Amino acid sequence: MKSLRTGALLLSPLLFVLLAAFVVPLLLLVPTSFQEYRPGQGIATDVWTLQNFVRIGADEFYREVVLRTIGLGIAVTLSCLLLGYPVAYLIVRGNPRWRLPLTLLVIFPLMLNLVVRSFGWIVLLTNRGVVNNLLIDIGLIERPLRLMFNMTGLMIGLTHIYLPFMVLMLVAALQNVPRDVESAAATLGSSRFHIFRAVTLPLTAPGIISGSILVFVLTISALVTPRMLGGPTYQVMATLIYDEFMLLLDWPSGSALSFALAIATIFIIWISSRMTKRWAGLA
């Protein structure tokens, strides 16, 4: 068949690149995750062990890092949702003349280099940074607050980084809410808050869910912002993977942790896509 040949010809270059530089490398990480790392000697290839996976749940340090990563994911998702909803609402329901400038102001940080955005937060949050200086100058505090290398810094930075994604998802969801339904509720005497709670919020639930999934998944796999604002000691999963490969050279542990992270991500995305499909079926 001629079309099949054309199709294979069109697809094969990209498929070759993806197989050679994506699929095979990922598969080759699987055996590594079952091998043993012996400090000072390197990776022992003759033994197979589940130790690297067991450690993620059993070892106190690993458990703390995993729980911190999940906690951070949840906290950042919630704060993005709380901060993002009013912005999306203003973009969709506000004065139409504001829509384009507001949208561009939301997209702009998204297009801006992640490293630059994280650097901006360092300038703001470091011990002698803008925020601390300002607070000391107006006499609210005497000694600088610790805003970096802890949960506070990561929360602020990651919320800022992923907020635009949430806003864009919510904008799409709000645009699908028919105004008639809201005006009908208003005509029937509902208060503005009641309309929001009983009409707008449930109708935007799919957008809330997909935005939350996106932000959560991005947060738990973030490397750059957690390292820049958390430093080398306040670890999350991605920064720990980085250290295990680049500093500790414990590739087996790092591979196991990588799979834990990747499988969690794929699982969450799979569940959410099933959920949204089911919802779409019901509606």
Strand residues in the chain grouped as ranges (E): 36-38, 42-44
Please report whether residue 201 would count as binding other proteins according to CB under 8 A. Answer: no
Residues numbered 24-43 forming contacts with other proteins, rule: CB under 8 A: 24-26, 28-29, 32
Does 223 engage in binding with other proteins (CB under 8 A)?
yes
Place of tokens 């208003």: 186
Contacting range for other proteins; rule: CB under 8 A; set: 54-62, 68-76, 221-229, 274-282:
221-229
Q: What residues from 159 to 178 belong to the interface with other proteins (CB under 8 A)? A: 160, 163-164, 168
Residue 36 Cα distances to 96, 214, 244, angstroms = 61, 34, 13
Which of 49, 51, 152, 265 touches other proteins (CB under 8 A)? 265
Instruction: Tell me: does residue 262 bind other proteins (CB under 8 A).
Output: yes
Distance from chain centroid for Cα 62:
20
At a CB cut-off of 8 Å and minimum separation 6, what does 151 contact? Answer: 68, 72, 75
* Alpha-carbon gap, residue 207 to 54, rounded angstroms: 36
Does residue 179 touch other proteins according to CB under 8 A? yes
Q: At closest approach, how far in Å is the CB of 54 from other proteins?
A: 20
Tokens of 49: 């062990």
Q: Are 83 and 163 in contact (CB under 8 A)?
A: yes
* Residue for token pair 């390197």: 42
Using CB under 8 A, which of the segments 34-42, 52-60, 61-69, 85-93 binds other proteins? 85-93
Stretch that binds other proteins, among 52-60, 65-73, 203-211, 250-258 (CB under 8 A): 250-258
Site for other proteins in 6-25 (CB under 8 A): 6-8, 10-11, 13-15, 17-18, 20-25
- Structure token digits, residue 228: 């820049």
* Comparison of 206 and 227: residue with beta carbon closer to other proteins: 227
Place of tokens 């749940």: 57
Contact with other proteins (CB under 8 A): which of 74, 75, 81, 89?
Answer: 89
Which three-class secondary structure state does DSSP give residue 43? strand
| Cβ proximity to other proteins, 206 vs 220, nearer residue | 220
Residue 116 interacting with other proteins (CB under 8 A) = yes
Helix axis angle, 205-220 to 251-282, nearest 10° = 180
Binning the chain into helix, strand and coil, the percentages to the nearest 5 are: 80, 0, 20
According to the binding rule CB under 8 A, does residue 195 interact with other proteins?
A: yes
Rg, Å, the chain Cα set: 24
**Of 44, 47, 50, 105, which one interacts with other proteins (CB under 8 A)?**
105
Integer Cα distance of 211 and 104 in angstroms: 19
Q: Which is nearer to other proteins, 23 or 58 (CB)?
A: 23
| Smallest separation (angstroms) from other proteins to the CB of 273 | 11
CB of 64 vs other proteins, minimal distance in Å: 19
Residue 97 in the binding site for other proteins (CB under 8 A): no
